[in-house]
Chains A and B, each alone.
Chain A
Amino acid sequence: MILLRLISWQYVRQHRLRSLLTTIGIVLGVGIFVGMHAAGASVLSALSTTIDRIAGKTQLQITSGEAGFPEEVLERVQSLREVAVAAPVIEAVVRSGVEREGNLLILGVDMTGDRSLREYDLEAGDQDIVDDPLVFLAQPDSLIVTRDFAQRNGFGVASKLTMETMEGERVFTIRGIMRPGGLGAAFGGNLGVMDIYAVQKFLGRGRRFDRIDVRLKDEHSLAEGQAALSNALGPGFQVDVPAARNRQFDSLLHVYSFMVNLSSLFALLIGLFLIHNTFAIAVSQRRSEIGILRALGASRRQVLALFMTESAIIGLVGSAAGIVLGSFIAKEMAGLIGNIMQAHYGIAERAHEVRFGAGLLAASIAMGMTTSILAALLPARNAALVDPARAVQRGSNQDISRGNSRGRSAAAGMFALLAVLCVFMGHSQVVFYAGYLSFVLAALLLAPTLSVWLSCSLRPLLTAVQPFEGRIAADSLIQAPRRTSGTVAALMLSVGLVVSMGGLSRGTFESVVDWVSSFLNSDLLVLASEDGTNRSFHFPDSVTASLASIDGVSDVQRMRSNKVTVKGASVLLVAIDMSTALARTSGRVVAGNFQQMYRLGAEGKGVIISENCGLLHNLGMGNTVEVPSPSGLVRLPVVGIVTDYLNQSGTVFVDYEAVYQPFWKDPTVDMYKVYLKQGVSEQSVKQQIQTKLSRQRRMFVMLNREVKARVMSNTRQWLGLSYIQIAVAMLVAALGIANTLLVAVTDRRREFAVVRAIGAFRNQVRKSVWLEATGLAAIGVTLGVAFGAIDLLYERQIVRHDYAGLTLNYDFPVLLVFLLGVGLIVTAWISCLAAAEMAARHSMVEALEYE
Chain B
Amino acid sequence: MERIAFEERPDWRDDAERCGFAFHTMNGEPYWDESHAYQFSLAEIEERIEDPTQELLTLCYRAVDRILDDDALMERMAIPSAFHKAARDSWNRKDYDLYGRFDFAYDGQSPAKLLEFNADTPTSLFESSVFQWRWLEAMKEAGHLPEDADQFNSIHEKLVEALPFIAGPDKRMHFAAVLDSIEDRGTVEYLADCAVQAGVEVSLIDMADIGVDEEGWFTDTNDYRIETLFKLYPLEDMVREEFGEHLLYTPTRIIEPLWKLVLANKGLMPVLWEMFPGHPNLLPAYFEESPASASLGERYVRKPLLSREGANVAIIDPTMPGGRLEVEGTYGEEGFIRQQLHMLPKFGSDWTVIGSWIIAGRSAGIGIREDTTPVTRNTSRFLPHFIVD
Say if A and B assemble together. no
Using a CB–CB cutoff of 8 Å, the interface residues on chain A facing chain B are: none
